Structure formats: C-alpha cells, structure tokens
A = this chain, B = another copy of it.
Amino acid sequence: MRSDSRLSRMLHALIHMDRLAGAATSEVLADMLSTNAVVVRRTMAGLRDQGLVRSEKGHGGGWALARPLDQISLLDIYQALGEPQLFAIGPSTDNPTCLVEQAVNAELGAALATVRGQLLDHFAKVSLGDLARQFDEKLKQGGHLPPHLQGMQRLDGL
C-alpha cells in the first residue's frame, strides 16, 4: 500500500503559500507538489471548510492562508483532512466472536491507540510556523533555493 501523502503535501503547500505575494493557483501549487491541480483542489477543500485557507475564483484568484502560520498546527491540518487512517496495520476482523481474536484486537488496538494519541499530541504542539523556521535554518546553512522559489518576491527570512 502506497502511503497517504496528503498531510505532507498540505504542510509543504501552506508554507509556500505564506511565502508568496498573492494567491496561489491550484496549477502553481500542483507544480510545486509535482501533482495535478485537481488533486490540489480536492485536498485543499477540507482545509477551506475548516477555515484554514480561502479560495477565490476568477482573475487573480487562487488559494491563500486564512490565518498566520503560527496559528495553524499540524493537528489542525490532519483534522481538516478528515483524520485519515494513521496505521497500515490493523485487525483482520472488527468484531470477532472468537475470544482469542478479541484479546489480540484489544491488545493491539490499545497499543495503536496509545501511540496515536502521542503522535496527535505532538502534532498539536507543532505549528506550520515552526516548520517554516526550520526551513529558514536550512537556507542559512548553505541550502540552495528550489526551482519554484528562484526569482520570487517576499522570500521573508532571507
């Protein structure tokens, strides 16, 4: 099973959007993410519904942040995406009659629930602003600009 990259992609996209002067079209974001504009709209729709980003049609339209990066946590994004399945492993039957299987499901389910809680707690504590600052660090330490940032305005932090 190929892994779900929606969370990763939205983090990537939103940080870029913060760096851009105006609204970013789905097409531009799709290029940044090496994907398709429809995939961008589809994925971004959840964030819009949760008030994290805004979209505008027509000339000069596109996507823009609805709040500062520091006021958006990784958990906000994860939840806006509909809390996609975290684990690739799971029980074979959800409500087994076999007591052995019930014991297995209980143990495994509890273990997964615990680490899920830990991960989401962490997501709640990390903001997109934190990630953006980590990017700025990388840049200072001799990183080169990616193609889609070269010759761009409002590259704050440089």
Contacts and interface: CB of A to CB of B under 8 A. Distances in A.
Copies of this chain, complex-wide, total: 2
Nearest to A108: B8
Interface residues of A, number: 63
Interface of A: 1-9, 11-12, 15-16, 32-35, 74, 84-93, 97-108, 111-112, 114-115, 118-119, 122-123, 126, 130-132, 134-135, 138-139, 143-149
Nearest to A7: B89
A31 to B, nearest CB: 11
Contact of A99 (B7, B88, B126, B135): B135
B122 A90 contact: no
B92 A34 contact: yes
B89 A86 contact: yes
Contacts of A7: 89, 108
A139 B122 CA distance: 38
A147 B7 CA distance: 43
A87 to B, nearest CB: 6
A112 B149 CA distance: 28
